[in-house]
Amino acid sequence: MPFLELTLPCSEAQQPRYERALEDVGALAVTLADAHADAPDEQAIFEPGVGETPLWRELRLTALFPAGTPPTLLLHALGAADAGLDWSQAEFREVADQDWERAWMDQYEPLRFGARTWIVPWNRDLPAEAEAADAAVVRLDPGLAFGSGTHPTTALCLQWLDRLAGEGTLQGARVLDFGCGSGILALAALKLGAAHAVGVDNDPQALLATRDNAGRNGLGERLDAYLPQDEPAATYPVVVANILASALVQLADVLGARVAPGGRLAMSGILAGQEDEVIGRYAAAFDELRSERHEDWMLVTGVRRR
């Protein structure tokens, strides 16, 4: 299936504005590459992780749109979305999907988190250790949605879920994955013994990826995925939210209400130095609030007060 590809140069400072405008008008995915790298040696950043910024000052930004999208109308829509940006250098071409979302999978290796949890792409064989009877293996096809296990925030959440499983907390539990992306955390929880999982994300593409990954893992009947406005009101003994720290602060009441009394909450997407604000916002309703660090990212966990 072909796509319409838009490519244009931009600076590091303007990249977030360009990306927001492209997402606002329906971009399916965005990649970033060094504007000055020679084509054979350049290294693209596919779907940067939560809060990540590119390393280059001058970028080439590329976005995908559905085939048949009229370039002229798209440029008008982008101008309306952010009239302060220069869209005149945009170039268009039709590309096949093989040029895009599968390319990075060739470099993606099986990853282990904690004692039992494995994330393995569809195009890789299971490592011998992942063949163990108690291994919790998620076969992942992240598609165009964030969440492959390679980002430190995802790794922190997976390790936390693996620990919960070791304690027996996940066994038979219902789990909420708020900001589910590819569904990786919800799927890992199910593989580790949870009975049912709910994924919530404001990106319809993420919900498609979550449902697809659930089906591929034989878990389609045990995982539901919703947009925030469609999520049924419920409480859960285990809630994990891998979103930005600013969103965690704003959503403290919402997330707090999702955690059952005595339930466990884990939050990531928090840069080192932001954890105190998050902890302070949740301190009124949670006990045992703690943080741990992986590279420049933090995980904050707590227990809902009874």
Task: Judge if 287 and 200 occupy the same domain.
Answer: yes
| Domain total of the chain | 2
Let me know if residue 124 belongs to a domain: no
Q: Is residue 72 part of a domain?
A: yes
Whole-angstrom Cα distance, residue 191 to residue 187? Answer: 6
Say if residue 288 is in the same domain as residue 222. yes
The structure tokens listed for 34 are: 């060094």
Nearest of 41, 34, 88, 37 to residue 61 by alpha carbon: 34
Which of 232 and 39 is assigned the larger pLDDT? Answer: 232
Each residue's pLDDT tens digit, 231-273: 999 999 999 999 888 899 999 999 999 999 999 999 998 989 9
Decide if 126 is inside a domain.
no
278 and 188 inside one domain = yes
pLDDT at 122 over 60: yes
The pLDDT confidence band at residue 59, using thresholds 50, 70 and 90, is confident
Assess if residue 123 is contained within a domain.
Answer: no
For residue 15, the model assigns a pLDDT of 85
Determine the structural domain holding residue 57 and report its residue range: 2-101
**Domain end position, chosen among 75, 101, 127:** 101
Judge whether 201 is annotated as a binding position: yes
Q: Tell me how far apart the alpha carbons of residues 245 and 67 are, in angstroms, rounded to a whole number.
A: 35
180 and 272 housed in the same domain: yes
| pLDDT higher at 286 or 31 | 286
Please tell me whether residues 167 and 293 are part of one structural domain. Answer: yes
155 and 30 housed in the same domain: no
CATH number (domain holding residue 190): 3.40.50.150
Same domain, 73 and 171: no
Amino acid at 72: T
Sheet with 29-34, side-by-side order of all strands: 45-46, 29-34, 58-66, 2-11, 91-96
Q: Is 162 annotated as a binding residue?
A: no
Judgement on whether residues 196 and 84 belong to the same structural domain of the protein: no
Ligand-binding annotation for 202, yes or no, is: no
- Confidence band for 40, pLDDT divided at 50, 70 and 90: very low
Same domain? 60 vs 171? no
Q: Specify the higher pLDDT residue, 107 or 165.
A: 165
The reply to whether 206 and 282 lie within a common domain is yes
CATH number for position 56: 3.30.70
Residues 181 and 246 in one domain: yes
> Pick from 67, 101, 135: which residue ends a domain?
101
Residue 147 has pLDDT above 70, yes or no: no
Token code pair at residue 26: 């329906």
